[in-house]
Structure 1
Amino acid sequence: MSTANEHSGQAALSICEALLLAMNDGGLLPEHEIVGVLRDAAATHENAKGSEAETETHRSVAALINQIIAGGNSVRRPQV
Structure 2
Amino acid sequence: MGSAKDFSGMAALSICESMLLAMNDRNLLSEREVVGILRDAAKTHEGAGVTDGEIEAHRAVAVLINRIIAGGNSVRRPPV
**Band of TM-score, shorter chain:** 0.7 to 0.9
Runs of 5+ in structure 2 lacking a partner? none
CA RMSD between the two structures: 1.7
Identity across aligned pairs (percent)?
A: 67
Q: Which has the higher helix share?
A: 1
Within the alignment, does 1:22 sit opposite 2:22 as a pair?
yes
Output the TM-score relative to the length of structure 1: 0.86
Moved more, 42-51 or 6-15: 42-51
Output the TM-score relative to the length of structure 2: 0.86
Question: Displacement of 1:5 after TM fit?
Answer: 1.1
Which structure is higher in RCO with an 8 Å CA cutoff and minimum separation 6? Answer: 1
Runs of 5+ in structure 1 lacking a partner? none
Question: Hey, which bits of structure 1, 4+ residues long, moved more than 4 A?
Answer: none
